[in-house]
Every structure is written in C-alpha cells, then in structure tokens.
Amino acid sequence: MQRITFITFGVFMVEAIVHYNIGAKAATRNANVDNPVVSPSKLGVPPTKDLLRMAIWVFVFSFISAKLIKNK
C-alpha cells in the first residue's frame, strides 16, 4: 500500500467522525411529531458496526484518491 493511502485514510476518518458528531447533534436538536424526545448528544465515536462501515468507505475512497494522485 502506498503511504498516501494511509495518510488520506487518517485525515478522512477524522473528518468522518467529526461529520458523524455534527449529524448526531443535529438529530437530537430536531425533534418532531414522530420523535418528540430530545436527548442530549455527546461527542464520541460511533458504535462499532457504524465505525467499521465508515472505515471501509473511507478506505475505498482513500485508495481511489491515492491511485488518482499517482497517475497525475
């Protein structure tokens, strides 16, 4: 594997966790008729299953990015 793949993976994974927390916070703020209870959101990592799913997608796109950069 190329070093750029792992660097890109690390940066994108941090970004994915930040976006996860932004979404979790927004979801708890936006209560509606179907979900009238607003529970506070804590910063943290997603549950293991979701974290693995995110890691797989981030790795796929990191690998593609590295290939595209190498081909330039």
DSSP output for 15-66: HHHHHHHHHHHHHHH---SS----------PPPHHHHHHHHHHHHHHHHHHH
What pLDDT, on the 0 to 100 scale, is given for residue 69? 87
pLDDT digits (tens, 9 = 90+) for 42-72: 778 888 998 999 999 999 999 999 888 887 6
Spatial neighbors of 61 by CB under 8 A, at least 6 apart, are: 12
Read off the pTM. Answer: 0.70
Domain extents in the chain: 3-29+42-71
Confidence of residue 36 (pLDDT cuts 50, 70, 90): low
- 3-class secondary structure, 72: coil
